[in-house]
Structure 1
Amino acid sequence: MPRRTATMLASTLMLIALLCAGVFITVPYSEMSPGPTVNTLGDHDGEPVLQISGRKTYGTTGNLNMTTVRVTSADYKMNLVEAVYGWLAHDNKVVPHDTLYPDGKTEEQSTQENAEEFSQSQESAKVAALKELDVPVRSWVIVSTVVKDSPAEGRLHAGDVIKAVDGTAVKEPADVAELVTKHKPGEDVVFTIVPAKEQAAAEKENKTATRTEDVTITTKASDDAGEKRAIVGISAGTDHTFPFTIDIKLADVGGPSAGLMFALGIYDKLTPGSLTGGKFVAGTGTIDDDGKVGPIGGIEMKTVGARSKGAQYFLTPADNCAAAASDAPDGLTLVKVKTIDDALGALKDIRSGDTADLTKCTTQ
């Protein structure tokens, strides 16, 4: 056999061997790719995404699309060939597995956490939109979750309203941890609460629950590294009562990143005219009760997904602007927003066609 032919054959066999080995060699990476994008003003799976009753609504035009990212599952074992392909693919992103699933988080745990964040983002979107419209919303601090086998288990329950801790009135969820950690582990802390059942009954009758009870819990030391803190094993959150019903119908989506677009969709449906002027606007960003827009993950995947569906403008959290602008799809204008007011101002310019003054994302 000629030497040249033998060399080519040997090289080909070596390449095949390497490819075969790459299929069986697993690497600790996961993949992100553009996910579905849904118009919050439209329908999904045959029903409106935003359903409002008890309040006058108005017709809308155009798109206010929320965007998503697909990720491989927690138990997915990526092989070397897939990792290399993902690194080379423009529309995909390969990241360390622990970036998506830190501390050995399981698929079930991640799904539950994403569902809770999604639910909370919906509540904050409603509050932010109604505050923008000067519609009053009643809010209070509640027990959000109770940790299994913690001192609070069986003593406090999800949905209990926390009125005070050690006699000090609670106004924000952060107040609860601050007051509890004033104690040393092993000391007692007194929660003044309205039990969840009584709160639910009062809400059903559109009344204010007035009967409270005191619950004494013995704190324990935290399990985290560093100085031990006193804890009782709960997380505090905020609950709201709205003057009319707002339902968000969107299954198989998790995480908090659709908050901004839900808030804008609600605002659009509750006001005359069209926020977009018929334009295709997409976006992303968390939102809090005060309308502040926060950063999200996978921004590059979301801009690609939005542009592929026809988006012309993309409302981008300020903290994500540099990353988004570094690889922006052609034909997509990235608009920088820090608050819902910023987003509403940008939409005013977009629908009027006067886009010269839009605050656009840059790589700096």
Structure 2
Amino acid sequence: MTLVVALALLVGLGVGSRYLPMPYLVAGPGITLDTVGRTEEGPVIRIDGADSYEHEGSLSMVTVQYAGGPQRRLDFLTVVRAWLSPTEAVLPEELLFPAGRSPEEVSERQTVQMNDSQTSATAAALNQLGLGYDAIPVVGDTVEGMPADGLVEPGDVVLAVDGEKVLTRSEGEPGTVVGTALVVERVGSREPGEPVVLTLDRDGEEIEVEMVSEPGEEGRAAVGVLISDEMDFPIEVDITVGDIGGPSAGMMFALGIMDRLSEEGLTGGASIAGSGTITSAGEIGGVSGIQQKMVSAQRAGAGYFFVAADSCSQVFESAAYGELEVVRVETLTDAVEALETIRTGEGELTRCE
């Protein structure tokens, strides 16, 4: 009787767990999208205002496909199957859906990150090609309770700090600090409590506002102005990726834009995939999900996988490790030099260690 009852309880527990919702996500290999390829809507990267070219080879962004979430919880058996799978990973739900944030807010944030990554990729590509563009420091918002609150408005363009003109990118010498970085540097160079005078362009009118700085991050002087460089590009770059969000395709966007603008292709016909964020200065940052993205790249037929140095530790845990030639990069220059090595067969590729 004891065995019968225990068996009945065990069967009941197994059946019940099948429908028990679990607060986890399952990350699996997602889609790949060739940034220099085409979709039904046309080229993934479309360039207006300059000659563009099409070449053999591919430069693919890769994605992770997530299952689960607050609105579609996974059952116990699905989570266990994913945990045992060599190509999937089980993650806490809050990694993608932080407490206090709705799924709609998460989706909106990922869309903003995708748009920002495309802008940064365009800037980085133009920098790498030596094509000029302007970067103008524009106020996005002010911090409530800080000195600039009520004096500086969103949309104001910062023209000068303490009467010294803020150089935009087109006005500064190569390698000099310009734009937003110059504003931050000049404001932060004083002692907290010292006054700051900002000259602003507000709707075409030049005005001056004076305020007393306060201690900010690391004790440096701050006034509570949130600014960023508004890019004024000489060409129009339109990137179509559908509903994909997040910043991790930045590196591949930049390489795709360069390939489109270059008479000679970057790949030499090779199939390249990769994942990494990018700044306008061409710095490549690490991302998560490399294990699954490498599997996506392998399934799509890529021969090489470009990965940010910060993501190298994930490479060795991928089921596709050993099936792809993994190339470690820290900057867009590194990636371009690696492509030249692949194209010419001369030199050595830098790998994760």
TM range (shorter): 0.7 to 0.9
Q: How far off its partner does 1:361 sit?
A: 2.0
**Cα distance in 2 between the residues matched to 1:277 and 1:35:** 26
CA 1:49–1:154: 2 relative to 1, 3 Å: farther
Of residues 237-246 and 314-323 in structure 1, the stretch that sits farther from structure 2 once superposed is 237-246
AA at the equivalent of 1:108: E
Q: Aligned runs of 1:111-122 on 2, under 5 Å?
A: 111-122=107-118
Which residue number corresponds to residue 304 of structure 1?
295
Partner of 1:132, secondary structure, is: helix
Which residue number corresponds to residue 208 of structure 1?
none
Confirm whether residue 82 of structure 1 aligns to residue 82 of structure 2: no
Confirm whether residue 126 of structure 1 aligns to residue 122 of structure 2: yes
Q: From 9, 13, 20, give the equivalent of 1:14.
A: 9
CA 1:164–1:19: 2 relative to 1, 3 Å: farther
Partner of 1:142, secondary structure, is: strand
Q: How far off its partner does 1:286 sit?
A: 0.8
**Cα distance in 1 between the residues matched to 2:35 and 2:303:** 16
Write the deviation string for residues 129-158 of structure 1: whole angstroms up to 9, x where unpaired. 111111111112222356799997886554
Which residue number corresponds to residue 264 of structure 1?
255
Partner of 1:102, secondary structure, is: coil
Confirm whether residue 63 of structure 1 aligns to residue 54 of structure 2: no
CA 1:230–1:67: 2 relative to 1, 3 Å: same
Q: How far off its partner does 1:336 sit?
A: 0.5
Which residue number corresponds to residue 204 of structure 1?
none
Q: From 44, 52, 56, give the equivalent of 1:49.
A: 44
CA contact (8 A) 1:35 1:68 kept: yes
Which residue number corresponds to residue 246 of structure 1?
237
Partner of 1:57, secondary structure, is: coil
Q: Give aligned-pair identity as a percent.
A: 34
**Cα distance in 1 between the residues matched to 2:215 and 2:18:** 47
Q: Aligned runs of 1:154-169 on 2, under 5 Å?
A: 158-164=154-160
**Cα distance in 2 between the residues matched to 1:343 and 1:100:** 29
CA contact (8 A) 2:294 2:318 kept: no
CA 1:76–1:183: 2 relative to 1, 3 Å: farther
Which residue number corresponds to residue 109 of structure 1?
105
AA at the equivalent of 1:332: L
AA at the equivalent of 1:213: I
Write the deviation string for residues 260-307 of structure 1: whole angstroms up to 9, x where unpaired. 111111111111222111111101111111111111111111111111
Q: How far off its partner does 1:327 sit?
A: 2.4
Which residue number corresponds to residue 206 of structure 2?
212
Q: From 325, 328, 333, give the equivalent of 2:325.
A: 333
Q: From 188, 193, 197, give the equivalent of 2:200.
A: 193
Q: Compute the RMSD of aligned alpha carbons.
A: 3.4
Which residue number corresponds to residue 169 of structure 2?
none
Q: Across the two proteins, how many residue pairs are aligned to each other?
A: 338
CA contact (8 A) 2:295 2:318 kept: no
CA contact (8 A) 1:44 1:250 kept: no
CA contact (8 A) 2:35 2:252 kept: yes
Which residue number corresponds to residue 314 of structure 2?
323
AA at the equivalent of 2:200: I
Long gaps (5+) in structure 1: 199-210
CA contact (8 A) 2:34 2:61 kept: yes
**Cα distance in 2 between the residues matched to 1:116 and 1:315:** 24
